[in-house]
Amino acid sequence: MRKALAELQAEDAVMRVTRWTFEPATETGWHRHAYPYAVVPVQGGTLTVVDEDGEREYPIRAGESYARHCGVEHNIVNNSSAPIVFVEIEIKR
């Protein structure tokens, strides 16, 4: 599977802002979040979350943000037929 496109938009000592574009059949690859983060969906859809609990569909809607604590380990996959885009904001301190 191909990698989703990660575009760094801004970074300083306090935060990192990355725009993720998931074309169909793309993924982040397994990773662990070192910082707490918020996600702001730009173009919604249904992603697949793969983690230690298994695999599940995770619908996101444009403009409906959510946040997670550091330490989250997962792979995010777009198994749908449409692109999905979100902005991830990591809080570094």
pLDDT in single tens digits along all 93 residues of the chain: 999 999 999 999 999 999 999 999 999 999 999 999 999 999 999 999 999 999 999 999 999 999 999 999 999 999 999 999 999 999 998
| Rg of the chain taking only CA atoms, in angstroms | 13
| 30 phi-psi bin (left φ>0, alpha ψ -120 to 50, beta other) | beta
Tokens of 19: 């725009």
What's the pLDDT at 93? 86
What's the pLDDT at 3? 98
What's the pLDDT at 51? 96
The architecture CATH gives domain 2-91 = Sandwich (2.60)
Domains of the chain, residue spans: 2-91
d(CA 61, CA 42): 8
